[in-house]
Structure 1
Amino acid sequence: MKLARALLLVALIWAGGVAASEVGVTDRSILIGMTAPFSGPSGPYGLDMKTVINAYFRQLNDAGGVHGRRLDLRSLDDGYETERTVANTRTLIAQEQVFALLAFYGSSPTTAAMNEVFGVAKVPLVGTISGADSLRQSPRDHPANRYMFNVRASYADETEAIVNQLTSLGFKNIAVFYQNDGFGKSGLEGVLAALRKHNQVPVAVATVERNSVDVSSAVQTIARANPQAVIMVTLYKASAAFVREMRKARQNPQFMTLSPVGADLLVQELADEARGIGISQVMPYPWNDTLPMVREYHKLLGKQAKPSYYGIEAYAMAKVLVEALRKAGKEPTREKLVAALESMQNHDLGGYRVSFSPTDRAGSRFVDLTVIGSGGRVLR
C-alpha cells in the first residue's frame, strides 16, 4: 500500500510538471524574466515595453502558447540603475527561477548583469535597449556574451549614419553632448570613430550624469564652441533640458540624437521646440503599416494605444524569443534555446531581419534617420 501511494505521488508530481527538465518550465508554462525601469525619468520607456510584451504573450497564450505551454512574464523595476539591475537579475534567476530573460534596458546595467549574473548562470537574454560594443563581443573571446542576443543595431552603426549625414551636408563644426555612463561613452566612441573617417574631431565635448537634467556646465562648454551641429547621446529629459538651455544661450545648431531618446517622449517634453531635431532609429517606422511586422504590432495594440519605437522594439524582441522557443522544440532547455537562436541567420521577422551565429551576437545593423516635424510628427 505504501509503495502504491509513493508511486501515485511520483506520478502526480510528474503530471504537474514539477519534474520538468529545465528550470522555469512546466508542462503548462514557461517563465520569462524582465528587468527594466518602470519608475523614474526612464520609467515610460520600460512601461511601454512591458505593456507590449504582456499583450503579445496574452495573444500568444490565447492561441495555445508555444508547444502547448503558456508564456508568463515576471518583471521587476530597476529604475535604470546598474546595481538594481544586477540585483533584479539575481532575483529572477535564483528566486523566481525564470527559464530565460527578455527586454533589459541600458548599456551599463545590462553589461554588468551579463558579466556578473546571467552570463555566469548561462541563462540567455534576448534583447536590450543598448547598442554598446560590450554586449556585442564574440562569445569565443568573451564567454559571458554567449548568452546575450541583441535585436538592434549598435551605437557605432547609429553614430556613423548620423555623422555621414551631417558631413554630406557640409557640417565641419560638430560637438558631442553625452551621458556619463556606458550608453553615453559608447555613443561618444562611435561619434569619434565616425568623425575620424572624415578627418574631423569634435569642436567640443560635454557630459551630463545619468538620471540628471543638470546641463548648465555642458551648455557653457558647447556654446563657447558655437557648433553647427550637436550630437546628443542622452535620454529625453536631459536632451530636452539641453536643447532649451542652448536656445536660451542663442545657440541654434542642428541637434541630432540616438534611438534610445524615444521620439514621442522627446516631443512630449519639448512640444514645438522639438521641431527639427534629427533622430537615428534602429526599428522600422512604427506608424506605417506597410511591413508585416508593423501590421502585426498595430493589430496587437488595437485602436486605443499609440505606436512607438520602444513598443515595436519590444515586440521585435518578444518575437525573436518566441520563434526561438518554437525552434527549441517540445522539451526546451536553455542550451537548446541558445542553439535555436544561433540558427536564426538572416531571419525575417516580417520586414525586419535579425541574424545570429555561434560567433556573432550583433543581431541587426538596420539604421533609419528621422526628423521631428511640425506638430511633433516623426518624419522619415
Structure 2
Amino acid sequence: MKTLFGAATLSLALAAVLQPAQAQEVVIGVPVASTGIFSFAAVPGRNGIETALEELNASGELGNVTLKLLIEDTASDKNQATTLVSRFAQYDKAAVILGPTSSVEAFAALPVAQEQGVPVVSTASADVTRVGDWIFKSNATPATIMQALGEQAAARLAPKTVAYVFNRDNDAYIAQKNGVKDLFEAKGIKTVAEETIVGSDTDFTALATKLAALDIDTLLISTTAETSANIIIQAKQAGLSDKVRILGTPSMASQQFLKVGGSAVEGTIFVADYFLESASPLNKTFVEAYQRKFKIAPDVFAAIGYNQLKVAAAAIKAAGPAYDRAAIRAALLTVKDLPTVLGGGKLTINDNRTPTYGGFVLTVKGGAFTLL
C-alpha cells in the first residue's frame, strides 16, 4: 500500500510538471488619439502597436502570457484622455498603459496613472517622465533627438540668421525648438525672430507675410506635420525665398507632411527617430508585416507605436511570474540593448526612464524621404 501510494504521488507530481503552464492574461490600456488634431500620429502609431501584437502572438516569445489590449480613442482631448487612464487604472485593472498620444493629453492624464501606481510607456514627445517615477518613455526626448539635427545643420549648412515658428501651447514643440535654438546660439548663430502659433490655427497669412519679409537664411518650424506643411506653402506663396533652408521636427517624417506639402516641402530637412529604408533585418520584417496588414508603408509614428509595445512586452516578459504593476515597472528599468527599428537599432532605458537609440537626419527629395 505504501508503494502504491508513493507511486501515485509521484505520478501526480510528474503530471503537474508536464502540464503546460496556465495562460496568464496581462491587460494593457491604450488611450490613443484616433480622431482629432493628433490623429496624424496616433492612427499610424495604433497600427504599429497592432503590428507588434500580431508578431508577438505569432512568435510565442512571451510564453504563456497573453496580451489583452484595450484600445480607446481620446479624440485628442485631454479630459477624455484623463477619463480613459482613470478607467484603465481603476476599473480595467490594467497592468501597464501605452499612451496617451500627445504631450498635451499626457501631462493632463498621467498624474492619474502615477497616483494609481500604474506603469506607463509613453510616446508623447515631451519629457513626461517628470510627472513621476511610474512614467517611462519609449521614444527619445525632444531635446535629445533635435540635437542631431542642430549639429548636422550647423556643420553642413552653416546658418547665420534663423527664424523659429513653434506651437506655444505644446511643451514638446517648445522643447524641440529650444533643442536647436540653444545649440545654434551657443555656436553664435543669430536668432532673428520667434513666432508662435496654437494647435488649432489654420490661417497663416499674416505669419507667412512676416516670414517672407525677414532677412534670414534658415527657418525652423516646430509643430504638427499638416500645420508645418501649410505654413511652408503659405510662406512660399507670400514670397519666402527658395534660398531659405527649412528645418523641422520628427513630425515632418510623416506621409501626411508629404501629402499636404507636395512640391512646396522639397528640400525640407528634419530629424527622425525612424527611416523606412533602414537595412536592419528587424526593420525589414516590420515593414513587410505593416504593409501586408495596412496596404501602406509605415512612417515614423507607426515605428514608434511598434517600438512602444515591444518595450512594454520586454518588461512584461521579464516581470514573470508575477506580471503585476510593480514587477513590470521594475523590469522597465532594466531594459538594455533591446532590438528596435528606431535609430541605431539598440534601445536602452536610462536612469531618467527615457530611451537612447540615436536618430536619422532626413530630407525630402523627389517627393520621398532620404538621408541627408
TM over 0.5: yes
TM-score (norm 1): 0.83
Alignment of 1:194-213 (within 5 A): 194-213=183-202
Aligned length: 342
Does residue 27 of structure 2 align to residue 38 of structure 1? Answer: no
Q: Distance in 1 between matches of 2:160 and 2:299?
A: 33
2:340 aligned to which of 346, 349, 364: 349
**Match of residue 55 from structure 2:** 59
Task: Give the direction of change, closer, same or farther, for the CA distance of 1:265–1:57 in structure 2 (3 Å limit).
Answer: same
**Match of residue 167 from structure 1:** 154
Could you tell me whether the CA contact under 8 Å between 1:103 and 1:314 is conserved in 2?
Answer: no
Does residue 161 of structure 2 align to residue 177 of structure 1? Answer: no
1:125 aligned to which of 120, 128, 143: 120
Equivalent residue letter for 1:123? V
- Structure 1, residues 323-351: CA drift from partner, whole Å, max 9, x if none? 11111113211111111111113433375
Equivalent residue letter for 1:100? V
Q: Distance in 2 between matches of 1:127 and 1:353?
A: 18
Equivalent residue letter for 2:30? M
- Structure label with greater radius of gyration: 2
Could you tell me whether the CA contact under 8 Å between 1:124 and 1:338 is conserved in 2?
Answer: yes
TM-score (norm 2): 0.85
Superposed displacement of residue 186, structure 1: 1.7
Q: Gapped runs of 5+ residues in structure 1?
A: 1-25, 138-143
**Match of residue 286 from structure 1:** 276
**Match of residue 72 from structure 1:** 68
Task: Give the direction of change, closer, same or farther, for the CA distance of 1:365–1:223 in structure 2 (3 Å limit).
Answer: farther
Does residue 208 of structure 2 align to residue 229 of structure 1? Answer: no
Q: Distance in 2 between matches of 1:125 and 1:280?
A: 25
Q: Gapped runs of 5+ residues in structure 2?
A: 1-21
SS of structure 1 residue aligned to 2:69: strand
Q: Distance in 1 between matches of 2:153 and 2:48?
A: 34
1:260 aligned to which of 246, 251, 257: 251
Q: Distance in 1 between matches of 2:197 and 2:357?
A: 28
SS of structure 2 residue aligned to 1:204: strand
**Match of residue 290 from structure 2:** 301
Q: Distance in 2 between matches of 1:224 and 1:106?
A: 33
- Structure 1, residues 123-150: CA drift from partner, whole Å, max 9, x if none? 11113131x23x244xxxxxx4322222
SS of structure 2 residue aligned to 1:202: strand
Does residue 148 of structure 2 align to residue 158 of structure 1? Answer: no
2:324 aligned to which of 310, 324, 333: 333
1:368 aligned to which of 360, 363, 367: 360
Equivalent residue letter for 1:251? L
